[in-house]
Amino acid sequence: MTTTTKIETRYPDCDRMGIVHHAVYPVWYEMARMDFFSELGFSFEDMNKLGVNPAMVDLHLQYKAPATYPQTLYITVRGGEYAPKKLELLYETKTEDGTVINTCRSFHIWTGPDNRSYNLEENLPEIYSKIRAACE
Amino acid sequence: MTTTTKIETRYPDCDRMGIVHHAVYPVWYEMARMDFFSELGFSFEDMNKLGVNPAMVDLHLQYKAPATYPQTLYITVRGGEYAPKKLELLYETKTEDGTVINTCRSFHIWTGPDNRSYNLEENLPEIYSKIRAACE
Amino acid sequence: MTTTTKIETRYPDCDRMGIVHHAVYPVWYEMARMDFFSELGFSFEDMNKLGVNPAMVDLHLQYKAPATYPQTLYITVRGGEYAPKKLELLYETKTEDGTVINTCRSFHIWTGPDNRSYNLEENLPEIYSKIRAACE
Amino acid sequence: MTTTTKIETRYPDCDRMGIVHHAVYPVWYEMARMDFFSELGFSFEDMNKLGVNPAMVDLHLQYKAPATYPQTLYITVRGGEYAPKKLELLYETKTEDGTVINTCRSFHIWTGPDNRSYNLEENLPEIYSKIRAACE
């Protein structure tokens, strides 16, 4: 499963050099990640109701080319490594002509209502099998 | 009572014209407001414990001159009109040489633990008298 | 002329109380303003080429009800007072069921390539007549 | 050489879970990086005058514990690998009691006035020797 999120850059995303500031990408990747989880059948509202959260533990970005304003971009997300308590996601940001300008890998630990590590396979087996299906 | 908060501009505060973006000022005024409440003896932690919040209902900014990066600025805050359920605050942002570059007026309704309007004079008379003293 | 801009709130727009932080609205109003100018026939790219800019001098927001994440909002923009060197814009943010949650008024001075006040009627009469038409 | 930058968290840095949002850290690391370069003798103003820029090509963050508001944090920066055209920097964010809550590694390519790769050793040998000294 791969999802695609359309991004329209915003004026204040650009710094004084006229290019999108590097701290904007994590916000975009979060939006794309939310779309991925919704498509998978485990939306933010679902997580919120259950008190379950994919806590960010590792975020790795590679800046390959600049973006500017105004510009339309597309972010693809796909699942990477997964286990009952953790999940890796892989991202690409592309321009309209398909040039990759940024790539990202995020790594998450599932946390439960007590804010501690949470075994998704044991506690939410249906959702865990959706993740398994999405990552294969 | 007038408080002064020192602000160091940050690189991404500036837009592609090299000047601080207009949406950054409300964030600075909030920082200055927090300092004003701390100095007055009613800090964010105090409010948080009590579930009391000065909800923003009206914010009016005037942009008189641009700021840039790097630059040191000073924001002064003083109390305006007050009543048991509401409060007005008045702000000025100045450069190091005292030039006023921005002014602001914010208007707040006190809300209580139930997120509804809250009478500070009745519920927290000691704090209300501190506000009265600070505003006169 | 009235334009409508669709906004999808983002996760980090919300503060720890779970409501959209008040400093996010100016960014949304700027997006809506850009759409208004594009629709009028004077896009950001046009302004950029000419070195003309509607510099923000006054911004007045009224917070009527909170927004949250995820939520879809609609911002309408219409012209207010106008003159050869200045422009007022009026905004409303509504929920999907039409409830107004925020209103705004911004006031702009046109600046030219030298960053000084700019007479739009004299320098760009075609664009000035578009603004006149849009504001009436 | 190791520099330390003091950070006071801001209210809107926290998300609805009451913890600092993960996209805030890159902004803090940029502030800490600017302090590192200033201390080294190659400030942002110097770079700006020369048209030289440490373009971000790779950013890797590790989230070890949450931060909240209000909280005082300290970010240390030290040099990593370096070469005439590139530079690695290493960061740690600590609480007041010394607990590491976040670590980061950024990797930069030096760009010159034409926005292309720039050989610092050839073009600015004095600054390059300062970097060499700071990284050893």
pLDDT grade for A40, boundaries at 50, 70 and 90: very high
C8, C34, C53, C72: which to substitute to probe chain A, counting the most A Cβ within 10 Å?
Answer: C34
Give the separation between CA B31 and CA D10, rounded to whole angstroms.
7
Task: Calculate the dihedral angle through the C-alpha atoms of A39, A42, A48, A51, rounding to the nearest 10 degrees.
Answer: -150
Contact (CB<8Å) A16/B21 = no
The reply to whether A10 touches chain B by the CB within 8 Å rule is no
Provide the 3-class DSSP secondary structure of residue C50: helix
CB C104 within 8 A of CB C22: no
Contacts of A22 (CB under 8 A, 6+ apart): A61, A63, D26, D30, D56, D59
**Contacts for C9 with CB less than 8 Å, ≥ 6 apart:** C20, C67, C68, C69, C70, C71, C72, C73
The rounded percent of chain D whose pLDDT value lies above 70 is 100
The dihedrals phi and psi of C25, each to the nearest 5 degrees, come to -60, -45
Selected residues 30-89 of chain C with any CB under 8 Å from a CB in chain A:
30-31, 34, 44-45, 69-70
pLDDT of residue B113: 94
pLDDT above 70 covers a percentage of chain A that reads 100
pLDDT exceeds 90 at position D51: yes
Q: Can you tell me the mean pLDDT for B3-19?
A: 96
Taking only the tens place, the pLDDT of each residue in C38-48 is 999 999 999 99
pLDDT mean over A82-86: 98
How far is CA B50 from its chain centroid? 20
The secondary element (H helix, E strand) that includes residue C6 is strand C2-8
Kindly report, residue by residue over D120-132, the tens digit of the pLDDT. Answer: 999 999 999 999 9
Q: What percent of chain A has pLDDT over 90?
A: 99
Q: What is the mean pLDDT of residues D83-112?
A: 98
Closest CB to C12 among D18, D23, D69: D23
Answer yes or no: is pLDDT of B136 > 90.
no
Whether C1 contacts chain A with CB within 8 A = no
Q: Is the pLDDT at D11 greater than 90, yes or no?
A: yes
Which positions of chain C have pLDDT values less than 50?
none
pLDDT reading at B131 higher than 90: yes
Give the ipTM of the model, two decimals please.
0.96
**Mean pLDDT throughout A90-98?**
98
- What are the pLDDT digits (tens) for C83-111? 999 999 999 999 999 999 999 999 999 99
Q: Give the per-residue pLDDT at C136.
A: 87
* Mean pLDDT of all residues in D34-54: 96
Q: In one letter, which amino acid is B76?
A: T
